[in-house]
Structure 1
Amino acid sequence: MTVPEGNTRAREGQVCLLKRSVYGLKQASREWNTELYLKLVEYGFTQSCHDHCLFVKSHAGGFLTLLVYVDDVLIIGSHDSDIEHLKAYLDRVFTIKDLCFDKYFLGVEIARSEQGTYLNQRKYILDILKDVGLQEFDTERYHRLIGRLLYLNFTHSDITFAVQQLSQYVGNPHYSHWDVAVHVLRYLKRCPSLGLFYSSSSPCTLTAYSDADWGTCPDTRKSLTGFCIFLGTSLISWKTKKQNTVSLSSVESEYRAHGAVVGELQWIFYVTRDLQRTKHLDIDCHIVCNLFKDGFFVLQHVRSRNQLADVFTKSLGGPQFQMLLSKFGLRDFHRCQT
């Protein structure tokens, strides 16, 4: 390591001797990110300006994509030879551990077949159930549980609304909130291997559902926004979130919900364009109205019984909840195997 600026005791030619792992240093994450970025750019990759974890390299015969999480990297490519050359390069400059086809990444289990890819967090759910057990309620345990349930939203769109409601009381939880959280755990215990299936034959068209529950918060009278987005038949994005300001009418709350889902659609659209190395579009202030006029999306009326976004904005009866959930591509992997 070079001598830091401001050190006047070092003589010319002297450097610092590192006595402990780089992981123990405060600047480690910044230095690692900079070094990885420089090496990937040197290899020909371009960093996405819409998702800084995404790096893309394309050529006449195909493309390479890297998804980076700290020092874990997922590599996707159109040719095996390109992937092998990249892994050899990374091993030469960093020394890597090649895990071949990924089966488990950041708490998510991955299974593949010719029909598509299946994601679930079964082990993560079982770990939560084991940790919670029959322990009594306390504030710290509630904080930890809600944090883990929020991470489960990565593959469990079915608990998004319930977890959003519970997360509002993290600052001052009570026994009633703990009881509801345990109720969510009992639901997860019945279907720990439920996960998302992404069909390999799904068409590349984006479809979005949005909904708003006007003035649903009894304390602030703020409305709730919920949306879900499909790529073909595959669910790729969803959210439940309380709106930042109070809406004076149901129309206003719905318009804010449209703004949220269109913003997410734009981000997805830009990322997909980044994968093809094309320039992104300019973002205008009046996002919903102008993009509608430009033909970026089409508004269609959806009957209440077919409104998939209802799952993210309100409590539903069992039959309606299961009917809507069946359209999300959630499958129980272990039951499918038997």
Structure 2
Amino acid sequence: MNDLGELRYFLGIELARSSEGILLSQRKYALEMISNTGLSGSKPKWTPMEKNLKLTSSEHDLKFSTKSDDVPLEDRSIYQRLVGKLLYVTITRPDISYVAQSLSQFMHAPKKSHYEVALHVVKYIKSQPGLGLLISRKGDEKIVAYCDSDWASCPMSRRSVSGFCVKLGISLISWKSKKQNTISRSSAKAEYRCMAQTIAELTWLKGLLQEVQLPIDL
């Protein structure tokens, strides 16, 4: 076993220490992704996804006779690799969690429009490739969680999307954006299911922090 000193880079994640805390980012990984997609000279985007954009599958378009010149990708592996990279970037970029989970639904049969949305996300990352998470030295040892749901937002299944984030003091330590497993027949049911997912995450985090002997207050 060798002591390599302070951890600075691990599996594409960069760590920078300062008096404020520890900054986690994936700047190098993001720049390589931008270069590999051929978007180094493109203009950056300032939102991860177009407003009110709803992604659908080819089967949904055929079922409802949607008129569109949108065609399936000939080589779906290009899309699959790019979305896989975007999912990995969500380790330090919670701001793209929603669009990443949306794009991951079409890995088996991506369309041209799906790939264009994925490239849009890369252009958004290009605007601030070094953006990351700050694990602050300040703040109290209290866990605070926020959650919300988007009722029946999926145009194909009418399932709702849950989202939550958990902070320890002022530091963000957990987050998720995920489609719910069942269809909620009211917005209240969607909200309760979202709260249940958040409580489950809080219970797991509480046990984890107790194992490392960190006193916490929920």
Same fold (TM over 0.5): yes
> How far apart, in 1, do the equivalents of 2:143 and 2:90 lie?
21
Are positions 1:117 and 2:54 aligned together? no
> How far apart, in 2, do the equivalents of 1:105 and 1:277 lie?
25
1:320-335 to 2 correspondences below 5 Å: none
* CA deviation vs aligned residue, 1:197-232 (integer Å, no higher than 9, x gap): 111112111111100111111111111000001111
Find 2:148's aligned residue among 211, 225, 250.
211
> How far apart, in 1, do the equivalents of 2:214 and 2:185 lie?
43
What's the CA shift for 1:132? Answer: 1.5
Counterpart of 1:237 in structure 2 is 174
Instruction: Report the 3-state secondary structure (helix = DSSP H, G, I; strand = E; otherwise coil) of the residue aligned with 2:202.
Output: helix
TM-score, normalised to structure 1's length?
0.52
Counterpart of 1:257 in structure 2 is 194
Counterpart of 1:97 in structure 2 is 2
Find 1:150's aligned residue among 83, 87, 109.
87
Does the Cα contact within 8 Å between 2:138 and 2:170 map onto a contact in 1? no
Counterpart of 1:132 in structure 2 is 37
- Deviation above 4 Å: which 4+ runs of structure 1? none
One-letter amino acid of the structure 1 residue matched with residue 14 of structure 2: E
Unmatched 5+ residue regions in structure 1?
Answer: 1-95, 279-295, 298-338
Q: Compared with structure 1, are the counterparts of its residues 131 and 137 closer, same or farther at alpha carbon in structure 2 (3 Å cutoff)? A: farther
Counterpart of 2:12 in structure 1 is 107
> How far apart, in 2, do the equivalents of 1:175 and 1:154 lie?
26
Give the length in aligned residue pairs.
184
> How far apart, in 2, do the equivalents of 1:203 and 1:277 lie?
12
Instruction: Report the 3-state secondary structure (helix = DSSP H, G, I; strand = E; otherwise coil) of the residue aligned with 2:106.
Output: coil
Backbone CA RMSD of aligned residues: 1.8
Find 2:157's aligned residue among 193, 216, 220.
220
Are positions 1:192 and 2:97 aligned together? no
Does the Cα contact within 8 Å between 2:151 and 2:160 map onto a contact in 1? yes
Counterpart of 2:50 in structure 1 is none
* CA deviation vs aligned residue, 1:254-297 (integer Å, no higher than 9, x gap): 0000011111111110001101299xxxxxxxxxxxxxxxxx96
1:43-58 to 2 correspondences below 5 Å: none
Instruction: Report the 3-state secondary structure (helix = DSSP H, G, I; strand = E; otherwise coil) of the residue aligned with 1:194.
Output: coil
Counterpart of 1:309 in structure 2 is none
Counterpart of 2:112 in structure 1 is 175
Instruction: Report the 3-state secondary structure (helix = DSSP H, G, I; strand = E; otherwise coil) of the residue aligned with 2:132.
Output: strand
Bigger RCO of structures 1 and 2 (CA < 8 A, at least 6 apart)? 2
One-letter amino acid of the structure 2 residue matched with residue 109 of structure 1: E
Does the Cα contact within 8 Å between 2:142 and 2:168 map onto a contact in 1? yes
Does the Cα contact within 8 Å between 1:137 and 1:175 map onto a contact in 2? no
Counterpart of 2:61 in structure 1 is none
What's the CA shift for 1:161? Answer: 0.8
> How far apart, in 2, do the equivalents of 1:115 and 1:123 lie?
22
> How far apart, in 2, do the equivalents of 1:115 and 1:189 lie?
25
What's the CA shift for 1:98? Answer: 2.0
Unmatched 5+ residue regions in structure 2?
Answer: 40-72
One-letter amino acid of the structure 1 residue matched with residue 29 of structure 2: Y
> How far apart, in 2, do the equivalents of 1:119 and 1:162 lie?
21
Q: Compared with structure 1, are the counterparts of its residues 176 and 249 closer, same or farther at alpha carbon in structure 2 (3 Å cutoff)? A: same
